[in-house]
């Protein structure tokens, strides 16, 4: 299973929490499309397989492009790879872009999955985050998308937002469950460097939510999602039966993928590659045949640490038999030794020779995964 990711580096407005590469200048959107086409041609031999199971349009805000432009990129992919008949093709979109005409045209494309950036249904939170839509608009957009035949919809929700009470968080999730959607991606707010939020935090203009309150919101998310028929299959992702994100799962299951566009990452099992995170420099390099990416060859321990990072964040967990088979007895014993204290503290449970994070373990997953990493001594 291979996947293709397009990073659409344009937004109509800057969200105050976002650290992804993007530009609010839309002047070069058409030139960027031509560069996407060119990069696809240049990278047509990157993947070992000649079939593609998933295509994902992320960003940024992919819905700045019209449906016929999105379909054009899908058609370009089909020039170099066979797109599986049941391929999952996802478009991230902002609620205010999904008007009736847009959805009608999108329904004629091969896009069969929507990931809608709602974040909150409370207008005061949306204003704080500098989102472009209202809570009412977000709710109505999902209903409208369903009316136009989209039956595989994911929504984003953010918790841990300054001023977000448990009462408001419960209301947000109740509205999500009322919408009868298939997938939820929910993230704790991060104060990433160089974002508006991080600068406001430094100036004392924002107060970070207490860790206990954030944990309670996360715990409620896990419990209520289960009660409403969702499986918690990855730290930040929940789905109904049959609706796991196939594309994102390819990252967590060590599958190959090709990233197209500025800042996009690629992985072919032996090396990781990432494109220039600068629109003009990326386009100039692609147009002139220059270098537009950097790469890192993965050694034995890099690949082991990758397995730790991707496996422990899922409900499949870290398969110890796989560790032993691919990395040998020493790293197998390393994992068993590291796991012992977390099993005792109930942050990890062991099932069918796999190590799986508990709900409490998920909340401190970064610390646990870092502890499992193997660092070579000089």
Which CATH number belongs to the domain containing residue 14 in this structure? 3.80.30.20
Q: Of 126, 143, 148, 226, nearest to 181 (Cα)? A: 143
What is the longest distance spanned by two Cα atoms in the chain?
A: 60
What is the band of 269 on the pLDDT scale with cuts at 50, 70, 90? confident
Give the contacts of 211 (CB within 8 A, at least 6 positions apart).
none
Q: Which residue has the higher pLDDT, 81 or 359?
A: 81
Rounded to whole angstroms, the Cα distance separating 347 from 174 reads 28
Exposure string of 49-79, with b = 16+ CB inside 10 Å and e = fewer, is eeebbbbbbbbbbbbbbbbeebbebbebbee
Q: Which helix (H) or strand (E) holds 282?
A: helix 279-288
Do 58 and 92 meet the contact criterion of CB atoms below 8 Å apart?
yes
Q: Measure Cα distances from 148 to 16, 142, 239 in Å.
A: 31, 10, 21
Q: To the nearest whole percent, how much of the chain has pLDDT over 90?
A: 94
- 220-266 pLDDT tens trace: 999 999 999 999 999 999 999 999 999 999 999 889 999 999 999 99
| pLDDT score for 329 | 97
Q: Measure Cα distances from 163 to 2, 14, 23, 253 in Å.
A: 41, 21, 28, 36
What is the band of 371 on the pLDDT scale with cuts at 50, 70, 90? very high
What is the band of 378 on the pLDDT scale with cuts at 50, 70, 90? low
Number of domains in the chain: 2
Rounded to whole angstroms, the Cα distance separating 15 from 189 reads 12
- 105-141 pLDDT tens trace: 999 999 999 999 999 999 999 999 999 999 999 999 9
| Token couple for 137 | 């608009």
Strands 354-357 and 318-319: antiparallel
State whether 56 and 144 are in the same domain: yes
State whether 43 and 188 are in the same domain: yes
| pLDDT score for 253 | 87
| pLDDT score for 333 | 97
What is the band of 279 on the pLDDT scale with cuts at 50, 70, 90? very high
> What is the rounded average pLDDT of the residues 286-309?
94
* Residue 175 belongs to some domain of the structure: yes
**Structural domain containing residue 323:** 301-372
- The count of residues in the chain is 378
State whether 367 and 223 are in the same domain: no
State whether 308 and 234 are in the same domain: no
* Residue 216 belongs to some domain of the structure: yes
What is the band of 270 on the pLDDT scale with cuts at 50, 70, 90? confident
- 163-221 pLDDT tens trace: 999 999 999 999 999 999 999 999 999 999 999 999 999 999 999 999 899 999 999 99
Q: Looking at the predicted structure, is the pLDDT value of residue 361 above 80? A: yes
State whether 205 and 113 are in the same domain: yes
End position of a domain, from candidates 236, 251, 266 = 251
State whether 111 and 237 are in the same domain: yes
* Residue 98 belongs to some domain of the structure: yes
State whether 242 and 362 are in the same domain: no
State whether 213 and 351 are in the same domain: no
State whether 246 and 322 are in the same domain: no
State whether 100 and 22 are in the same domain: yes
pLDDT mean across residues, the chain: 95
Q: Looking at the predicted structure, is the pLDDT value of residue 15 above 90? A: yes
State whether 44 and 145 are in the same domain: yes
State whether 125 and 8 are in the same domain: yes
| pLDDT score for 339 | 97
Q: Looking at the predicted structure, is the pLDDT value of residue 309 above 70? A: yes
């Amino acid at each position: 299973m291979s996947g293709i990711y397009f990073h659409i580096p344009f937004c109509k407005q800057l969200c105050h929490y976002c650290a992804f590469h993007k530009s609010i200048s839309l002047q070069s959107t058409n030139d960027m499309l031509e560069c996407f086409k060119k990069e696809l041609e240049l990278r047509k031999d990157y993947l070992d397989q000649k079939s593609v199971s998933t295509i994902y349009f992320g960003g940024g805000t992919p819905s700045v492009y019209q449906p016929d432009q999105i379909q054009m990129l899908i058609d370009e992919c089909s020039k170099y790879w066979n797109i599986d008949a049941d391929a999952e093709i996802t478009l991230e979109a902002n609620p205010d872009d999904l008007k009736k005409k847009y959805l009608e045209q999108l329904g004629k494309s091969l896009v069969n999955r929507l990931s809608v950036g709602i974040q909150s249904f409370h207008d005061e939170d949306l204003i704080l985050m500098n989102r472009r839509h209202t809570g009412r608009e977000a709710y109505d957009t999902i209903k409208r998308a369903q009316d136009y035949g989209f039956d595989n919809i994911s929504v984003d929700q953010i918790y841990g937002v300054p001023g977000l009470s448990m009462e408001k968080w419960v209301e947000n999730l109740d509205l999500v469950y009322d919408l009868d959607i298939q997938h939820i991606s929910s993230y704790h707010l991060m104060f990433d460097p160089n974002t508006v939020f991080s600068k406001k935090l430094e100036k004392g203009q924002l107060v970070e939510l207490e860790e206990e309150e954030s944990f309670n919101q996360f715990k409620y998310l896990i419990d209520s999602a289960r009660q409403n028929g969702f499986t918690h299959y990855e730290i930040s992702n929940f789905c109904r039966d049959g609706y796991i994100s196939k594309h994102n799962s390819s990252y967590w299951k060590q599958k190959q993928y090709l990233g197209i566009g500025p800042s996009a990452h690629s992985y072919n099992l032996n090396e990781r590659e990432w494109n220039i995170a600068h629109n003009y420099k990326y386009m100039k390099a692609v147009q002139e045949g220059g270098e537009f990416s950097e790469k890192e060859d993965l050694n034995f321990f890099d690949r082991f640490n990758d397995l730790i990072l991707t496996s422990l964040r899922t409900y499949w967990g870290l398969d110890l038999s796989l560790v032993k088979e691919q990395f040998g007895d020493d790293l197998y014993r390393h994992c068993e030794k590291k796991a012992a204290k977390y099993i005792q503290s109930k942050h990890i449970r062991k099932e069918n020779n796999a190590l799986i994070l508990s709900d409490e373990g998920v909340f401190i997953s970064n610390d646990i995964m870092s502890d499992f990493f193997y660092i070579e001594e000089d």
